[in-house]
Amino acid sequence: MNHPYGKQAKWALVSLCKGKEIRAEIDHIDTHGRTVAKCFLSDGTDLSAEMVKLGLAIDWPKFSGGIYKSFEKPGLRRKLWLADARQKGRMHVWAQFEAKQAARSANRSAGR
């Protein structure tokens, strides 16, 4: 959620899935203990593919094998720059973003 377009991605996914059965095919557990899975609707719709097509997710070849790359719209990685930076191991970009978010939050709290 703490991403540019995070809330839009959440609500797009809710819209795709609400009231529907979802099948998760677990691939593995990542180095941070998170479950990595491919998720599908009962009609076979691949939710990752749909999110990339909507411009709200990028292909992550480490986990997908690159199968969603062709769905990425031109300029998507510039739009989703934070996810792209994280994917490429540029964690300093992530740290800078989080520091700015924390400062904004602190400033809002101080202004109350």
* Phi–psi pair at 109, nearest 5 degrees: -65, -40
Return the domain boundaries, the chain.
6-110
Contact call for residues 70 and 53 (beta carbons, < 8 A): no
Specify the pTM: 0.72
- pLDDT tens-digit profile of 47-96? 999 999 998 888 888 888 999 999 988 877 777 766 666 666 667 766 77
Question: Per DSSP, what are the bridge partners of residue 26?
Answer: 37
Q: What is the rounded CA–CA span in Å between residue 95 and residue 16?
A: 31
Whole-number pLDDT of residue 85: 62
Q: What is the rounded CA–CA span in Å between residue 89 and residue 91?
A: 5
Helix (H) or strand (E) segment spanning residue 29: strand 22-29
- pLDDT tens-digit profile of 16-52? 999 999 999 999 898 878 898 999 999 999 999 999 9
Whole-number pLDDT of residue 20: 97
Hey, what amino acid is at 58? I
